[in-house]
Chain A
């Protein structure tokens, strides 16, 4: 009988907590101007600008600056630290917890899949104590084994070697300048979801 009572108590407590969470979304809303203004201000400081030597850096800088401003702004103390959290979820668009500090809600946010000329890219941003603590690559073109016939081919063994720097003079050098806009696009989407 004691076990029954304990179980009912636990279930009731959890249900109450869930109801409380659902019926009180208002306390997490911060007026838009107090959130967005600082981000814009940071953007206009022009940090990180001097190393931009190309013409397609808009996405990257937006993400980098947002992340930076978040870290600077995040409060140290989080009164809700001990609050029980719902189970982590990896499903798209589903934050895994609801703590609220700084500019972003805590949780992990999965960005939408961005299709690039290199294949699909998907990123996940993890926010802890209002800070961006990690960026994970869920899908990258190099990891994509799907849909290509070559995946089914018996691959011949090709010669390999460790690269070594050559000192000889050359007429020209071949190297890459390609960018990976998809990474930036998906990450920016994840951070948009994380915004309070």
Chain B
């Protein structure tokens, strides 16, 4: 034990003798780990959030497709779906998108049944009349409006319509409501000029959640021009964020792997003459092969473990304490209205161990292995050069 502590001491002294190089490697390594950890933690947290929050989403959404594309659905389909055993409430939904040329932002306009409910995450209430609306915090900010204020939108007949803002969703819900404008269903139909008897899609309640897939299959069989989407698929959508096949992650990972390979290649193409000489001296004064390899192991582990731990901590702090502010511009794309990420902290130990193994083990190996040949050689042979 004492021997190993002394060898660690020597390894630290050895790294400190090359302090600028050691610091540069730790910094670069930490940055790589922070980037990877941030992405993995963000994805994990978003998935968890989706699992927990989207549990309240409709069991089934039935869309109609025409030519492979989403089309409006006859509201009468709701009656047919209601006949299927095991199906509960079936409600046609009215919603769509609105592009505001002034702010160059896309908003989502959502219809509601006109019950002026109060919700915990809504300051004010939902609209009950046609001239009222509730807006997300992002829109309130963009349009510089508040509860009791006004909002002007241009409808499908190119006419400006004035709405009274009766509710503003709280910032804590911005991940769900940031770009929402909630109107009454009738107002949405009028605003978009939707043909009579048509809805955007249909929300379906299934009594037995184990039977979601079966219910979806029955709907599809009964109405072949529809596309039922189950809540399971909804939640799975967020498992695909930063999926390894997505371009962004592939790019970041490739860059990280290439950086790693360059580092490992630099170390693995042979140790320097100075290092060889030092190993020779150590062996000559009585260090055996295992002591020398232990030294190299600790030199590698000190750097890799420090960088890994610092990078993981930095990634966690970045995502959960600083709301992923560095990742947000990457994810944002061309979005004008973009929420703050107040994600619940989520740390999966499996993820930490996997990341640790994938970062620490190769670096330690690339430090120990090149020294191996020299370490097993007679000191006299090493010093002869």
Determine if chain A interacts with chain B: no
Q: Report which A residues bind B (CB closer than 8 A).
A: none
